[in-house]
Amino acid sequence: MNEHREFISSGQAILGIELGSTRIKAVLIDDKHSVLASGAFDWENQQVDGVWTYSMDLAWEGLAGAYLDLKRQVKARYGVTLTRLKALGVSAMMHGYLAFDGQDRLLVPFRTWRNTMTLEAAQKLTDAFAFSIPQRWSVAHIYQAILSGERHVGNIRFLTTLAGYIHWGLTGEKVLGIGDASGMFPIDPDTPDYDREKLAAFSRLTKEYGFPWELRDLLPRVLPAGQDAGRLTAEGAKRLDPQGDLAPGTPLCPPEGDAGTGMTATGAVAAGTGNVSAGTSIFAMVVLEKALSRVYPEIDMVTTPAGNPVAMVHCNNCTTDLNAWVDLFAQFGEEAGLTLTRNQIYEAFFSAALKGLPDAGGLSAIGYHSGEHITNFEEGQPLLLYPADDQFTFQNFARAVLLSTVATLSIGMEILRKEKVALTRVLGHGGLYKTGDAGQRFTAAALDAPVSVLATAGEGGAWGIALLAAYLTRKQPGETLAGYLDQRVFKALQSKTLAPDPKDLKGLAGYIQAFKKGLGVERAALIHYKGAHHA
């Protein structure tokens, strides 16, 4: 305890902060990369005028709230006030659209990754670039705004992501880590920077509009992991710690997206490795040894925080439906006078799922609360389909709901399996792996590969960005990010690995068949039910 107290008070601790989809989390680590303290602030996206968004005022309030929670924990646990840091890193949800004018004013509310309003732009850009541009990407958002004739576009002077925005507010630097930047615009790994040929193609597409800018001038400067990304200003320190105890001057690593911090938090940045992040959304990242044979609209091509090419299968829907069912059972418990905590309900769900039939007995849960580009849905409508027989049990129901969290991922991974992409090591992190083995087992079946979960999995991306901040200040000359993580972080960590169970593989295959048929019902529901529901 005395050693930790001195370590923190001497300003040697490193802070990582991630703005996730439902929680803003702050993690403080020591020189062994172990967590000293953590803090959190809950927030939630809102649908305003048909757009999924977050308030930027709430983002700053949540950032300060998570830091204050961590600061209080440090004081209670170690008896010291946090005043100095060795390094700091900021991460957030990737993609989306944050556009600012010349006076640094936000021109339209933040459009998050969850929006599926850019189909026309994404398709036209994919054709023009001969490169898959998902609807979530910033370039798809700005081009759709152009195609839709939105007036604000001519006034844009800066375009960034949520992580880039927070980093800018803390340091004054308009920069972005290469992994997060690769979700704004395609990256040329040989540069490494935005792809010049595709920037030129974008200029040709938009020349007729006569905008007073070139896209390259709007985008943040790209920085690979390990490069200096600025220092915490006095104003930034005050924003992070309104109580005024935190001193300015802390160096910051390049801000990254949750995909990059997920790769870092699982040590999956070398070729042939992969990771799965499973929370509100679910995505698999596979570091490639060679390029894919052709363009696949379902597959995002992004990079590791060091700039290596990565195939990303991203699904918008994962645990939202599971959480909704847990909330329902919590309400049932209250009505029945039962003292059930949400943790107990989650444990019951995950335990029961392992007792259900391998294919969930014919039940199919389509937990689409928002659109899903992998299966070509622009919006979602949650559905539960079940047979009118004795297979409708709680165990089968729980298994169907949990299998639904990985079903669309499994459909997307079919492409990489056809491409014979090798997966030597897959690590999982996120809320799906916090309770029992069910989430890990079903993910292994979805990927048809062994999946490991580390003891640090619950800390997720906030720990991942803290590791990138540590790499900034502690790396040796010539030491790569992969080498640093392998030798200095993960070598001593414990992990649990589960190989795909043949019964799970066969059961998931049957479930996916029913799930795909159920997507026809989903399309009909969006026409006939959702319209009636909102009428």
pLDDT class of 309 with cuts at 50, 70, 90: confident
DSSP string, 161-220: -HHHHHHHHHHS--EEEHHHHTTTS-EETTTTEE-HHHHHHHHHHHGGG--SS-HHHHSP
Is the pLDDT reported for residue 460 higher than 80? Answer: no
The answer to whether position 523 is within a domain reads yes
The answer to whether position 428 is within a domain reads yes
Is the pLDDT reported for residue 531 higher than 70? Answer: no
Q: In the structure, how many helices (H) and strands (E) does the chain have?
A: 18, 22
Mean pLDDT of 499-513: 97
Same domain, 376 and 403: yes
Same domain, 311 and 332: no
CATH number at residue 491: 3.30.420.40
- Return the structure tokens found at 354: 């392992």
- 100 versus 339: the higher-pLDDT residue is 100
The answer to whether position 525 is within a domain reads yes
Q: What is the pLDDT of residues 199-231, one digit of tens each?
A: 999 999 999 999 999 999 999 999 999 999 999
Same domain, 287 and 415: yes
The answer to whether position 83 is within a domain reads no
Same domain, 471 and 522: no
**441 Cβ partners below 8 Å, 6+ apart?**
354, 498, 501, 504
Above pLDDT 90, what percent of the chain?
79
pLDDT class of 431 with cuts at 50, 70, 90: confident
Same domain, 418 and 293: yes
Mean pLDDT of the chain: 93
**383 Cβ partners below 8 Å, 6+ apart?**
364, 365, 366, 368, 518, 521, 522, 525
Same domain, 415 and 314: yes
Q: What is the pLDDT of residue 532?
A: 53
Q: What is the pLDDT of residue 401?
A: 98
- 535 versus 35: the higher-pLDDT residue is 35
Mean pLDDT of 513-519: 96
Same domain, 443 and 476: yes
Same domain, 459 and 356: no
The answer to whether position 43 is within a domain reads no
Find, among 127, 120, 181, 195, the residue nearest to 378 by Cα: 120
The answer to whether position 208 is within a domain reads no
Q: What is the pLDDT of residue 232?
A: 98
**Domain total for the chain?**
2
The answer to whether position 351 is within a domain reads yes
Same domain, 429 and 290: yes
Cross-strand partners of 18 = 25, 91
Residue where the block lists tokens 């929006």: 115
Is the pLDDT reported for residue 535 higher than 50? Answer: no
Same domain, 493 and 514: no
Find, among 180, 186, 183, the residue nearest to 200 by Cα: 186
pLDDT class of 149 with cuts at 50, 70, 90: very high
- 148 versus 300: the higher-pLDDT residue is 148
Q: What is the pLDDT of residue 459?
A: 64
Mean pLDDT of 495-506: 94
d(CA 150, CA 47): 19
Domain range enclosing 423: 258-318+411-498
Is the pLDDT reported for residue 533 higher than 80? Answer: no
Q: What is the pLDDT of residue 456?
A: 55
Same domain, 425 and 491: yes
In degrees and rounded to multiples of 5, residue 119 shows phi and psi of -60, -45
The answer to whether position 444 is within a domain reads yes
- Return the structure tokens found at 352: 């029961």
pLDDT class of 423 with cuts at 50, 70, 90: confident
Mean pLDDT of 76-97: 96
Same domain, 312 and 420: yes
- Return the structure tokens found at 461: 């991306």
